[in-house]
Amino acid sequence: MASSSYSNSPCAACKFLRRKCMPDCNFAQYFPPEEPQKFANVHKIFGASNVSKLLNEVQPHQREDAVNSLAYEAEARIKDPVYGCVGAISVLQRQVIRLQKELDATNADLIRYIPNNNTQDGRRIVGEGGEGSSSLNQGFYYPFSLE
């Protein structure tokens, strides 16, 4: 778990909000003073109050991951105000679709050349619509055109 390396300095959140950082500060362990931009970003995008509410909604052992994912989203939104990290989802979805098509085409080629559809290391070749293709139906799909 992250903690401030300057125990006498206020955390980045309290410094940003110009308030005294008390020993029981909810933000201190997630927003150390040496990372001021991390809090500035989540404050700009989500607001300190929403971040505090969200931290109270999750288990203590999940709070560091929650803060880090919020910081990631906030930074992405500041870099790209229109799409934020949803832009990354769209890029990755296109990458998955392209790789799956390439894999299907390559497997189809292999099937033509290898007699019993088993490679030398024993892998079973799967053509279009096989196991490999099913990965397109898993996970996430961002439904808006981001072109």
Residue 80 to residues 48, 88, 91, 103, 129, Cα–Cα distance (Å): 21, 10, 14, 32, 36
For a second copy, which residue of 3, 62, 117, 134 counts as binding (CB under 8 A)? 62
Restricting to residues 10-49, name those near a second copy by CB under 8 A. Answer: 44-47, 49
Pair of tokens at residue 31? 């927003």
Based on CB atoms, which residue is closest to a second copy, 28 or 67? 67
Residue corresponding to tokens 């229109």: 82
Total site size for a second copy, rule CB under 8 A: 57
Region of 6 (left: φ > 0; alpha: ψ -120 to 50; beta: rest) is beta
Question: What gap in Å lies between CA 30 and CA 20, rounded to an integer?
Answer: 16
Of 94, 100, 88, 92, nearest to 135 by C-alpha is 100
Restricting to residues 81-140, name those near a second copy by CB under 8 A. Answer: 81-89, 91-93, 95-96, 98-100, 102-103, 105-107, 109-110, 112-114, 119-120, 123, 125, 132, 135, 138-140
Based on CB atoms, which residue is closest to a second copy, 34 or 139? 139
Question: What gap in Å lies between CA 100 and CA 106, rounded to an integer?
Answer: 10
For a second copy, which residue of 3, 37, 69, 117 counts as binding (CB under 8 A)? 69
Query: Residues in the site for a second copy, rule: CB under 8 A?
Result: 44-47, 49-50, 54, 57-58, 62, 65-66, 68-70, 72-73, 77, 81-89, 91-93, 95-96, 98-100, 102-103, 105-107, 109-110, 112-114, 119-120, 123, 125, 132, 135, 138-140, 142, 144, 146
